[in-house]
C-alpha cells in the first residue's frame, strides 16, 4: 500500500510521492529546539513523531535527508545570555542546553537528523534571502532600522498568504496592535525579518547591509531549509501551534523570494507536503508550570521511567489527535512493554542460532498497512499486540520450530525499525554487576540450603527492580 497522509496544505489525505520518484530521495525539514532551557514532553512528542515519520519512510524504502535546525538566537536566548553572570560567548551559553537536548533525544531513541544546522551559522544565507525580498519590493525598512515582510506587496506580486490556515486579517489587527506600535510596521500583519540592534541586546548583534541587528525567527528556517534542501522540498513537519504564523511566514518568505519584482512570475512551491501534529495535554490540562503538570523528559527519567516507556506512551495515539499524557499511562506503557519483552525473550530462546526462513509474516504487512494509512499508529500497535498474543499461544502449544521463531524475530526487527521501543539484544542482556553478584549469592545460599538468606536476597533484588525466574536453563534475571 502506498503511503498516504493528511497534507495541511490541501487539507486532505494525499498519496505521498517524492519530487524525484525514481531516486526515492526525500527532503524533510522539522523546526528544531530553541536552546535556552530543557525541552518538555510536548516538544518531544513532536520530535518523536518526526522520528517515526522518518523511520517509516525508510521502512518504505525512501532515502531521507532529515534536517532539524537549532534555534540558537532569539529574544529569550539574548535575554538569558545578557542576564548570565559569565558572558563568554553565545555558543558557550547555548551549548549545555543543546547537549541536554540531544541526551534526551538519544534516550528516546530518536535517530539523529542528517543535518543539524545552527541558526547563527547561517546569518549570510538569511541576509541573502532578505536581500532578495528587498529587491523584489516585498520587504521594507522601518525608521528604527528593522526589516519587515510586506504581506500586501507579496500578495500583489502573486504570492498567496494563508496557505496553511485561513487568515482573518481583521482578527490579527486587533491582536497585534500593540506590537505594531512598537515596531512601526506598515501593516499590522507584517512580520519582522531583521530586528535592528537595541541597547538591551548588549553585544549580541550581526552586521548587515541595513545596519546591525539579528534575524527574526521565521527567516532562520527559510534560509536553512533552502540552503540544505533547495528552494522546493518534500515534507515539512511540526507541532500544530507552529502552523501559524511561523510556518505560514516560512512559506511567504521562501516563495516570495522566487517571485519577480515586475510581477507575473509564478512562485516556486516551498514545500509539497505539510504534516502537523496535535498538541499534548498533561493530566487533562494544558501543560503549565503553575498547574504543576509541566514535565521535561528528564523529570520523567528521574521518576524512574525509561526512554522507551516515554517513547511508547507519546507514540501511542494518532498524530492528529490531541493526547492526554498521564503518569498512570506511563505505568501502562511499562506493563505493555514487559509483555512484549517476555514474548521476545521466549522467541530468542526458542530460535537459538536458527536462521529465519526468509518469508514475511502477517505482522509486517498489517503494520505497513496501518502506518501507510495516515500513520495510524493505534492500528499499528494493535497489530503488534495481536501478534504477541498469537505468538505466546503458539509457543505454549509448542507449535513453533527454531526457524519459525527466528522468522518471527526478523519480522519484529522490521517493525521495531520504526517503533524503536526495544533495546538491542546486547543492551538487554546487560545486567549491572551488583545485581549479578546478588544472584550468585542467592544461588550459593540455596545450595547451602540457607533459604532464609536466599529469600532475603530475592527481596533485596526486588527492591532494586529485579526478579529471579527459575527456568529449565537455570535462573534468569528480569526487570520488574
Ligand atoms: Zn521553523
**What separation in Å is there between the alpha carbon of 46 and the centre of ligand 1?**
13
**What separation in Å is there between the alpha carbon of 272 and the centre of ligand 1?**
16
**What separation in Å is there between the alpha carbon of 403 and the centre of ligand 1?**
48
* Nearby residues of 120 by Cβ (< 8 Å), 6 or more positions away: 72, 73, 90, 91
**What separation in Å is there between the alpha carbon of 341 and the centre of ligand 1?**
38
**What separation in Å is there between the alpha carbon of 244 and the centre of ligand 1?**
11
Distance (Å, rounded) from C-alpha 362 to C-alpha 342? 20
**What separation in Å is there between the alpha carbon of 222 and the centre of ligand 1?**
7
**What separation in Å is there between the alpha carbon of 438 and the centre of ligand 1?**
51
**If residue 5 lies in a helix (H) or strand (E), which one and from where to where?**
strand 4-7
Distance (Å, rounded) from C-alpha 78 to C-alpha 478? 48
Residue with cell 535546525: 69
**What separation in Å is there between the alpha carbon of 126 and the centre of ligand 1?**
13
Residue pair 4/15 in contact (Cβ under 8 Å)? The answer is yes
Determine phi and psi for 344, rounding to 5 degrees: -65, -35
Residue pair 28/237 in contact (Cβ under 8 Å)? The answer is yes
**What separation in Å is there between the alpha carbon of 171 and the centre of ligand 1?**
23
* Nearby residues of 223 by Cβ (< 8 Å), 6 or more positions away: 122, 125, 126, 128, 129, 215
**What separation in Å is there between the alpha carbon of 220 and the centre of ligand 1?**
7
**What separation in Å is there between the alpha carbon of 12 and the centre of ligand 1?**
22
**What separation in Å is there between the alpha carbon of 246 and the centre of ligand 1?**
6
Residue pair 68/118 in contact (Cβ under 8 Å)? The answer is no
User: 92-126 burial, b if ≥16 CB within 10 A, otherwise e?
Assistant: ebbeebbebbeebbebbbbeebbbebbbbebbebb
**What separation in Å is there between the alpha carbon of 451 and the centre of ligand 1?**
63
Task: Specify the pairing of strand 63-68 against strand 25-30.
Answer: parallel
**What separation in Å is there between the alpha carbon of 326 and the centre of ligand 1?**
29
Task: Specify the pairing of strand 280-282 against strand 285-286.
Answer: antiparallel
pLDDT computed for residue 272 by the predictor:
97
Distance (Å, rounded) from C-alpha 361 to C-alpha 322? 33
**What separation in Å is there between the alpha carbon of 66 and the centre of ligand 1?**
14
pLDDT computed for residue 174 by the predictor:
41
Closest CA to 177 of 167, 168, 189: 189
Residue with cell 529449565: 472
pLDDT computed for residue 154 by the predictor:
96
pLDDT computed for residue 148 by the predictor:
97
Residue pair 211/123 in contact (Cβ under 8 Å)? The answer is no
Q: How many C-alpha atoms does 458 have within 13 Å on its Cβ side?
A: 15
**What separation in Å is there between the alpha carbon of 132 and the centre of ligand 1?**
19
Mean pLDDT in the chain? 92
**What separation in Å is there between the alpha carbon of 343 and the centre of ligand 1?**
42
pTM (two decimals):
0.88
**What separation in Å is there between the alpha carbon of 236 and the centre of ligand 1?**
9
Closest CA to 42 of 294, 235, 218: 294
Instruction: Give me the residues of the chain with pLDDT under 70, please.
Output: 170-184, 424-430, 472
Distance (Å, rounded) from C-alpha 151 to C-alpha 68? 27
Amino acid at each position: 500500500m502506498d503511503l498516504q497522509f493528511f497534507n495541511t496544505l490541501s487539507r486532505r489525505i494525499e498519496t505521498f510521492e517524492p519530487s524525484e520518484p525514481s531516486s526515492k530521495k526525500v527532503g524533510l525539514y522539522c523546526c528544531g529546539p530553541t536552546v535556552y532551557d530543557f525541552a518538555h514532553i510536548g516538544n518531544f512528542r513532536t520530535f518523536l513523531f518526526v522520528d517515526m515519520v522518518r523511520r517509516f519512510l525508510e521502512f518504505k524504502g525512501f532515502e531521507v535527508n532529515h534536517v532539524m535546525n537549532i534555534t540558537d538566537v532569539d529574544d529569550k536566548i539574548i535575554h538569558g545570555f545578557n542576564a548570565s553572570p559569565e558572558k563568554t560567548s553565545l555558543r558557550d551559553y547555548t551549548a549545555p542546553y543543546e547537549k541536554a537536548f540531544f541526551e534526551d533525544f538519544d534516550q528516546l531513541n530518536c535517530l539523529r537528523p542528517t543535518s543539524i544546522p545552527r541558526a547563527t551559522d547561517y546569518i549570510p544565507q538569511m541576509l541573502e534571502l532578505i536581500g532578495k525580498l528587498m529587491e523584489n519590493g516585498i520587504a521594507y525598512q522601518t525608521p528604527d532600522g528593522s526589516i519587515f515582510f510586506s504581506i500586501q506587496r507579496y500578495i500583489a506580486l502573486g504570492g498567496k498568504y494563508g496557505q496553511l490556515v485561513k487568515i482573518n486579517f481583521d482578527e490579527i489587527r486587533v491582536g497585534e496592535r500593540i506590537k505594531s506600535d512598537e515596531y512601526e510596521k506598515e501593516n499590522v500583519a507584517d512580520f519582522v525579518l531583521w530586528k535592528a540592534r537595541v541597547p538591551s541586546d548588549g553585544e549580541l548583534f550581526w552586521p548587515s547591509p541595513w545596519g546591525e541587528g539579528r534575524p527574526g525567527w521565521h527567516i532562520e528556517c527559510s534560509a536553512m531549509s533552502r540552503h540544505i534542501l533547495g528552494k522546493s522540498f518534500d515534507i515539512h513537519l511540526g507541532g500544530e501551534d507552529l502552523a501559524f504564523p511561523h510556518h505560514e511566514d516560512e512559506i511567504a518568505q521562501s516563495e516570495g523570494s522566487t517571485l519577480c519584482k515586475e510581477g507575473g512570475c509564478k512562485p516556486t512551491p516551498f514545500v509539497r507536503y505539510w504534516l502537523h501534529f496535535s498538541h499534548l495535554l498533561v493530566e487533562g490540562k494544558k501543560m503549565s508550570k503553575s498547574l504543576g503538570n509541566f514535565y521535561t523528559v528528564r523529570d520523567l527519567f528521574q521518576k524512574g521511567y525509561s526512554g522507551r516507556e516515554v517513547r511508547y506512551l507519546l507514540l501511542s495515539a494518532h498524530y492528529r489527535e490531541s493526547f492526554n499524557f498521564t503518569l498512570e499511562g506511563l505505568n501502562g506503557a511499562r506493563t505493555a512493554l514487559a509483555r512484549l519483552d517476555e514474548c521476545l525473550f521466549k522467541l530468542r530462546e526458542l530460535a537459538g542460532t536458527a536462521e529465519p526462513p526468509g518469508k514475511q509474516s502477517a505482522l509486517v504487512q498489517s503494520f505497513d498497512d496501518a502506518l501507510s494509512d495516515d500513520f495510524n499508529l493505534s492500528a499499528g500497535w494493535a497489530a503488534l499486540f495481536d501478534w504477541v498474543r498469537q505468538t505466546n499461544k503458539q509457543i505454549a502449544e509448542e507449535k513453533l520450530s527454531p526457524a519459525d521463531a527466528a522468522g518471527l524475530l526478523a519480522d519484529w526487527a522490521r517493525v521495531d525499525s520504526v517503533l524503536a521501543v526495544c533495546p538491542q539484544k546486547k543492551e538487554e542482556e546487560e545486567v549491572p554487576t551488583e545485581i549479578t553478584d546478588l544472584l550468585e549469592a542467592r544461588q550459593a545460599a540455596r545450595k547451602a540450603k540457607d533459604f532464609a538468606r536466599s529469600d532475603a536476597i530475592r527481596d533485596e533484588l526486588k527492591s532494586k527492580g529485579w526478579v529471579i525466574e527459575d527456568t529449565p536453563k537455570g535462573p534468569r534475571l528480569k526487570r520488574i
